[in-house]
Copies of this chain bind each other. A is one copy, B any other.
Amino acid sequence: MAADAFQQYLEKTRTLADLSAAVAVLGWDQETYMPDGAAQGRAEQISTLSALVHQMTVERGYGDLIRTLSDSSNGNGLEEWQKASLKESLRDLEMATKLPEEHVRECARATSLAQHSWKQARAEKNYALFADALAHLVELKRNEAGYLGYAENPYDALIDQFEPGMTVAQLTPVFTRLREGTRVLLERIAAAPNKPDDAVLFTDFDKEKQLAYSREMVAKLGFNFGIGRVDLSAHPFCTSFGMTDVRLTTRVFNDDLRSCLFGLIHEAGHGMYEQGVDPAYTRTPLASGTSMGIHESQSLFWENMIARSEPFWQWAFPGLQSTFPGPLGSLDASGFFRAINVVKPSFIRIESDELTYNLHIVIRFEIENALINGQITVADVPELWNSKMREYLGITPADDAEGCLQDVHWSFGGFGYFPSYTLGKLYAAMFYRQMKREIPDLEAQISSGQFANVLAWLREKIHRWGKSKRSATLVMEICNEPLSESAFLEYMTGKVERVYGLG
């Protein structure tokens, strides 16, 4: 009986998975190959298919099936993954039904307008042009928190959409200690007598060669081109149409060697996660990464812990040098490692280094929390932003375009999203510390270009579980401790000491 009902449920999840995959294909094509003139038609196609996904998600018969199966799931002989799948479906259903249609429509309208006014405000460096739209979005998001429900802090309800179960109460002490540890490290860096020079990275590198080198590199790391591919787009991303079809994109600049290579390795980290989910979860709600934070941990692991490490370049540098003998001829592996790890406070989040990046996130987190809790208003944001930049990073934006207007997220209503980025860094460092304990010769493997054990470890501990385990469970099971900043600060201290000749 339960087996029959579960089969019925699976048929529905497959339809939903296939429709969602089609939406993802439409989105991928839009960013890679679609001709410009097709934009309006494509927006309509995506909107129609997304509406069908929503309709099917909230359809009464399907909801009843999920609830009935979930209610009886302890006694009906379902396997663990089947129960986890039901749990995800129930979460999707609740997310989709808790929000009144009127609210969803108003959010769509408001974000569409806000994106327009944000673009204008940023271009004209005039925050006032965005303030009203932002205030409306904040109000809508406060309402949304009410609809979704929360135990303690309305901002929790928003964070939960991207990192299920994460709360302000958990994040605040971690972020505070992270900020303090970062301050200490930045002071040591400022006092360092011997600063690395990264000018060589911004000379002239053939774009075709960069792309070919980067593709080969992610294949060596373990991205499977038999079930994935790489294309170009204005902004790098990873998207998946199921674990057997994972698409990465990157971009290439002649005068910045980092963008294509590290961008693609980052996306390949996301991609290997998607490719590694247990095939048994195909076309179920479990067939994807479990949270934004864990997803980001996988991309950052490969980008930073592996591909910005000294052992990695001991192995890889000769190949890179022979690809670009002109610009890199007089450099060595250690010099290259130092160049790609320069730490320097900067105004723009996406251009900042591994260490100061988190300070941008902490500022967003603190401001979002205050906005959603009504402790500040939209009018307070620019001055608060600038004073926090001064306090944490020691620099003051010249205008709001390089300050609080720099990121698109708020304009599409993405409150609660920013913490994921730093969560990714913290998780990645925790996983790395644990991996070193379990693979004692890890650095030796990396410095000889062997990544099979690294990938196998991530597969075994993280990838294969897809969404069947929440991030807190994964972290606790893998590291035997909850989220903390200590592994990250330990890792960054080690790296900074090598790069700046300290210690």
Which positions in A face B, CB cutoff 8 Å?
14-15, 18-19, 21-23, 25-26, 29, 33-38, 40-42, 44-45, 48-49, 52, 224-229, 231, 241-242, 244-245, 282-283
* Inter-chain contacts of A14 with B (CB < 8 A): 44, 48
Beta-carbon contact of A19 and B245 below 8 Å: no
A282 to chain B, nearest CB (A): 7
Q: How far is the CA of A38 from the CA of B239 in the complex (A)?
A: 14
Q: How far is the CA of A96 from the CA of B102 in the complex (A)?
A: 36
Question: Is the contact region of chain A dominated by helix, strand, or loop, or is it mixed?
Answer: helix
* Inter-chain contacts of A21 with B (CB < 8 A): 41, 45
Beta-carbon contact of A40 and B244 below 8 Å: yes
* Inter-chain contacts of A48 with B (CB < 8 A): 14-15, 18-19
Beta-carbon contact of B22 and A45 below 8 Å: yes
A147 to chain B, nearest CB (A): 27
Give the nearest-CB partner of A20 in chain B: B45
Task: Return 8 A-B CB contacts under 8 Å, by A number.
Answer: A19-B52, A21-B41, A29-B29, A37-B227, A37-B245, A38-B242, A44-B283, A52-B52
A228 to chain B, nearest CB (A): 6
Beta-carbon contact of A38 and B227 below 8 Å: yes
* Inter-chain contacts of A19 with B (CB < 8 A): 48-49, 52
* Inter-chain contacts of A242 with B (CB < 8 A): 38, 41
Give the nearest-CB partner of A228 in chain B: B35
A sample of 10 more A-B contacts (CB under 8 A), given A25-B29, A42-B245, is A15-B48, A18-B45, A25-B25, A35-B227, A35-B228, A35-B229, A38-B242, A40-B244, A41-B244, A42-B241
Give the nearest-CB partner of A38 in chain B: B245
Give the nearest-CB partner of A37 in chain B: B227
Q: How far is the CA of A72 from the CA of B237 in the complex (A)?
A: 52
Interface centre among A18, A49, A229, A242 (most CB of B within 10 A): A18
Do A226 and B45 contact each other (CB < 8 Å), given the known contacts A22-B22, A22-B26, A29-B29? no
Q: How far is the CA of A282 from the CA of B42 in the complex (A)?
A: 12
Beta-carbon contact of A226 and B22 below 8 Å: no
Give the nearest-CB partner of A36 in chain B: B226
* Inter-chain contacts of A37 with B (CB < 8 A): 224, 226-227, 244-245
